[in-house]
Amino acid sequence: MKFKKNHFIFNCIAALAFNSAALANNYPSSPIRLIVPWPAGGSADAVGRLLGEQLGKQLDTTVIVENIAGASATIGTQQVAKAKPDGYTLLLASSSGNASAPNLYKKINFDPIKDFSPIGLVALIPSILIVSNDSTFKSPEDIVAAAQKKPGALAFGSGGIGNSGHLSGELFASIANFKANHIPYKGNNPALTDLIGGRLDFMFDNGAIPHIKSKRVKALGIASNSRIQALSDLPTLEELGYQNMILSTWFGLAAPTQTPDDIIQKVNLALNKSLQESAFAQRLIDMGAELRTTNPQEFSIFWQSELLSYKKLIENSGAQAQ
């Protein structure tokens, strides 16, 4: 009886392995959904659409980019967490939805680690301190001086609570010792519109380069430990004396947990080949991105370390969900 039981278990395991391998060999046999948990028009949407197009070429299929925005990326992220783990629903994971929000909100309807299978890192894009082109502020020091003169009088916007713009602003205020009013928007574009219109005093944005080059906004510094190729003349905020003023949004690719490992490896290979494609890579670099190629294990380690980093960042900055 024991032999028959063990033989049955072995057969079940073998059948599962065979089915998993067959699924991976036929993958993809239909279009893939790439969920971008932010509105159209921002940096996340731009990265997602560029990535979707390139993944489609590498995997010889159609990748449909779907924006499911809301609650600092947690609504779209939750939908992927609950999706069927067959490789046909992928997530554009980000520092906002997968590292910041889990530390900022008391309750979210997914586990940031257990509910996902990491595939690979895509890019890091640092936050840029910007003001309206008509602003009287010419440097970060001007903002700090005005804010210290009238505590709480200045307002800065962001694309939502817990996103990089929000946390960059809170971190800047903490490092420079001033208070400012945070105004959250449903995406970076509405915040940028109000900045250009003079209804905000400053903001941090990781998708501002086209607006900087068109002179709709002025860039005063970048929250990175080194200058970026797209704006090589722009100094880092550390160069300007604001130590540890470093904050980048990261984007990666993930699937629901229990997605077969063969599929994860196949998509990871397609992702890394995409990042090595010169035209695609240059378009991301022009956005201010630093590209990274990783395997799923490396991305998993990075992801978990970012959860801890954002926990400390949120605690130290005093950022709170509103």
Question: Domain of 211: which CATH number?
Answer: 3.40.190.10
Pairing of strands 217-222, 128-132: antiparallel
**Of 231, 258, 276, which closes a domain?**
231
Q: Indicate if 158 and 192 belong to the same structural domain.
A: yes
The per-residue DSSP string of 179-237 comes to --EEEE-SSHHHHHHHHHTTS-SEEEESS-HHHHHTTSEEEEEESSSS--GGGTTSPBT
Residue 47: closest CA among 322, 275, 247, 308: 275
| Domain total of the chain | 2
Q: Indicate if 187 and 50 belong to the same structural domain.
A: no
Range(s) of the domain holding residue 49: 2-21+29-125+249-317
Tokens of 229: 């190729």
Encode the chain (322 residues) as per-residue pLDDT tens digits.
554 555 555 555 555 555 555 567 899 999 999 999 999 988 999 999 999 999 999 999 999 999 999 888 999 999 999 999 999 999 999 999 999 999 998 889 999 999 999 999 999 999 999 999 999 999 999 999 999 999 999 999 998 888 899 999 999 999 999 999 999 998 888 999 999 999 999 999 999 999 999 999 999 999 999 999 999 999 999 999 999 999 999 999 999 999 999 999 999 999 999 999 999 999 999 999 999 999 999 999 999 999 999 999 888 777 777 6
Q: Tell me how far CA of residue 91 lies from CA of 181, 253, 289, in angstroms.
A: 32, 6, 19
Q: Indicate if 92 and 137 belong to the same structural domain.
A: no
CB atoms < 10 A from the CB of 243, how many? Answer: 8
Q: Indicate if 102 and 134 belong to the same structural domain.
A: no
Strand partners, 65: 34
Helix (H, G, I), strand (E, B) or coil at 238: coil
Q: Indicate if 97 and 142 belong to the same structural domain.
A: no
CB atoms < 10 A from the CB of 173, how many? Answer: 21
Tokens of 5: 């039981």
Q: Indicate if 143 and 158 belong to the same structural domain.
A: yes
Is 0.85 topped by the overall pTM? yes
Helix (H, G, I), strand (E, B) or coil at 270: helix
Q: Indicate if 64 and 203 belong to the same structural domain.
A: no
Q: Indicate if 163 and 199 belong to the same structural domain.
A: yes
| Secondary element (H or E) of residue 92 | strand 89-94
CB 156 within 8 A of CB 200: yes
Tokens of 297: 């294990």
Strand partners, 35: 66, 91
The CATH number of whichever domain residue 266 belongs to comes to 3.40.190.150
Q: What is the CA radius of gyration of the chain?
A: 21
Q: Which spans in 39-197 are helix H?
A: 43-59, 74-81, 95, 101-104, 140-149, 164-176, 188-196
CA distance 222 to 98: 23
